[in-house]
Amino acid sequence: MTPVGIRVALAAYEGVWASTLHPTADILQSVNLRQLTDTFSLKVVTPTEQSVVPYSGQRITGDATMMESGSYDWVVLPHFWGDFDRALQVHPQIAHWLLQQNEAGALIASVNSGAFWAAQAGLLRDRRATAYWRHIPALKQRFPDVDWLAQQGLVEDGGIYTSNGQNAGMDLAMHLVERTCGAEMANSLARDITFDIRRHYDLTLFNMAGFRHHRDDNIHHVQDWLDRHFAEAVSFQVLACNAGMSKSTFLRRFERATGEKPARYLQRLRIEAAKHRLINSDDNIKTISINVGYRDFSSFSKAFKSVTTHSPKRFRSHCRPR
Distance in angstroms (rounded) separating the CA atoms of residues 77 and 52: 14
What pLDDT, on the 0 to 100 scale, is given for residue 89?
A: 94
180: pLDDT strictly greater than 70: yes
2: pLDDT strictly greater than 50: no
What pLDDT, on the 0 to 100 scale, is given for residue 189?
A: 78
What pLDDT, on the 0 to 100 scale, is given for residue 205?
A: 61
Buried b (16+ CB within 10 A) or exposed e, 5-28: ebebbbbbbbbbbeebbebbbebb
pLDDT in tens, 251-289: 999 999 888 899 999 999 999 889 888 887 889 999 999
Lowest mean pLDDT among 32-36, 93-97, 226-230: 32-36
pLDDT in tens, 234-245: 999 999 999 999
4: pLDDT strictly greater than 60: no
The beta-carbon contacts of 173-177 under 8 Å, at least 24 apart in sequence, are: 173/23, 173/24, 173/27, 173/28, 174/27, 175/206, 176/74, 176/107, 176/109, 177/27, 177/28, 177/31
Average per-residue pLDDT for the chain: 87
pLDDT in tens, 19-78: 888 888 888 888 888 876 778 899 999 999 889 999 999 999 999 999 886 899 999 999
All domains of the chain in start order, with CATH: 6-201 (3.40.50.880), 214-322 (1.10.10.60)
CA atoms 241, 246, 251, 254: torsion sign: negative
Q: Who contacts 170 (Cβ-Cβ below 8 Å, separation ≥6)?
A: 23, 27, 195
Contact of 273 with 204, CB cutoff 8 Å:
yes
